[in-house]
Structure 1
Amino acid sequence: MAVDKDRYKALYEYQKAQFDDEKTRYSKLEDKAAKYLTFLTIIISAYILLVSKFINTSNNIYCLTYAIIIFFVILTFFSFCGAWFSIFKSLRLQEVKKMPSDGELIEFFESNELPSVYLGLAENYSEAIEWYRIKNHDKTTLMQQGYKEIFHTAIFFIISIFLIFLTQVA
């Protein structure tokens, strides 16, 4: 029975393409998380500046109104921190899966027929694909959690800014 090396080559090329796709998804998730983290960092800084300006100029506000505003300011700040932390966790530094390129691989090439080499490389790609899929899923879950927290933060942010604005106008 003759070995159909084109089948193994096709399997290898398919696995390589899948590996490249998963690796690209991983990079895009990393990029998106970094952008959201930067955005949150800038917004948190601006919010802290705005609130500190309000606190420094708020001497004619009734105690209950001031307490409500401070409550929403604290709630907003902690919501910002929760969202920031969720996105930050998705950027955790770690070793990424790579394809082997050592002396053992060279020996494998020299001591096996081409169909076996294709099959071996396809199996290596399969392991790496599975690793990237797990990491992409974990990263996506953390980012979705961060997005939900950003939504809640936006509500608290709007309420606190609205209350601050009302006290400054009145």
Structure 2
Amino acid sequence: MKAWFGVVLVLGLASAAAADLTLVGVPIEPIGVGDTVTITVANSRNGAYAGWLEIGTPDVATFETAPKFTEAGDPGGASLMKYWPQYGAWYEFTVVSFPPNPAVEAGDHIVVRIVGLSAGTTNLNLYDSDGVTLLDRCSIAVVPEPTTIALLGLGGLLLRRRK
């Protein structure tokens, strides 16, 4: 009896700890100005949830379009995405199914497309529904395209030559 209780307790704790939201497809290489990167919000468990997406420095990179739900992230057509411009580059989302069939199942739920605007580094932050608890973060480096670097170099040479 004690062994059975221990097994049930361990399984219960393991299933409660398995729930998490993560960013998938995080870029490992810098992107160029005007280039777009696609990142996915994935959930490892079934059921409805809510959260926030934020771009830390919207002058460096910003949302190309509003984040989109995948079929798994909007099975009943009731999931919501709301833009909050007064806070900078923030989106609040709710992944839900109403009526409850089909249910929200684990998988890739939201597709985020980010475009580089100027050279620098920014973060895509994924927050819990409270908007404070950071669940995941990815860094996005934006570099100027090679022609811009070449033109800046030529301009520098011309200025130096004039002196």
Q: Same fold (TM over 0.5)?
A: no
Larger relative contact order, structure 1 or 2 (CA cutoff 8 Å, min sep 6): 1
The TM-score with structure 1 as length reference comes to 0.30
More strand as a share of residues? 2
The TM-score with structure 2 as length reference comes to 0.30
Q: Rg: which structure is higher?
A: 1
